[in-house]
Amino acid sequence: MTDIVTITLNPAVDLSTSVDRIQPVAKLRGKSQRRDPGGGGINVARVIRRLGGDAHAIYPVGGAIGGLLRQLLDQEGVVSQTWTIAGETREDFFVDEIATGKQYRFILPGPHLSPSEWQHCLSLVAAIEPFPRLVVASGSLLEGVPLDFYARVARIARQRGAGFVLDTSGPALAAAVAEGVDLIKPNLREMRELSGSDPSDAYEWEAAAKALVAGGKAGTVALTMGHLGAALVTRNEVLRARPIPITPRSAVGAGDSFLAGLIWRLSSGASREDAFRLAVAAGAAALIHPGTELCRIEDVERLAAGVTIEKA
């Protein structure tokens, strides 16, 4: 078994195209067509693979779309561990409008999971041998899954002596940090919901992250702040990164790419500063390509050279 396992409860096949202009009624003829495997933990595993690492992806599959999802991941060389569910795996739809450069993102609802289906995922994780050093859960929960699902995963990881990393939002995130998480990666909206505050600048956002760490809710907070850059907050250190000057073309998978770069480098024994630099570069690299492509390693390496890290 690999050192890193990712969990995705709500995976998808992402379909992307581009049209001249989006308008009602008229037939909008796509200029391209691309399908990629999607979902938070799946994207993390894909990017780790591209960066030269190895991560196994655990996720449910249902129907024809589920079979396609597994096939697409196999083609990328990502090792999968799946279980079959009654519902159909979702398919999301992304459209780039050429005339304006805007991207439209249509996120479809996923299937309902029965108690036996979501409990099977917990059983799969608990039975992994040898157990990985790091369990990464990312993405939303499906209908039917209890809000403390990620807290239960955190408990399993802790009992097996592994680190637990989480990237989700809302009540599921709140329940998990109440249990205790080694690393979370919130954006500004998620941090606002989690902290119950509304900071006005990067320093106040960092203070909210420090409060979570000081309260024992998270060992590390990797906070992505859009135009304000990013911060990596631990009990003893705060690292800040300015945003890289790029022209974004797609927002798909930027946070997943950031998280993948961070945990892969940390798991490889790199310093927090080096890992944070690669994370910022990977997140930016995902933004510069249209559709659902995620980041390319050559772009990550090029952009990493321009990342400025400051210590608080």
Report how far Cα 113 is from the mean position of its chain's Cα atoms: 21
Burial of residue 265 (CB within 10 Å: 0-12, 13-18, 19+) is buried
Q: Does residue 256 have an active-site annotation?
A: yes
Query: Contacts from 19-22 at CB under 8 Å and sequence distance 24+?
Result: 19/95, 19/96, 19/97, 19/98, 20/97, 20/98, 20/99, 21/97, 21/98, 21/99, 21/100, 22/95, 22/97, 22/104
- Cα-based angle 303, 46, 56 (whole degrees, multiple of 5): 135
CA distances from residue 138 to 34, 47, 179, 269 in whole angstroms, order as listed? 23, 13, 16, 22
Q: Of the listed 148, 256, 274, 299, which one is catalytic?
A: 256
Task: Please compute, for residue 288, the number of CA atoms within 13 A of its CA located in the half-sphere on the CB side.
Answer: 17
**Residues labelled catalytic:** 256
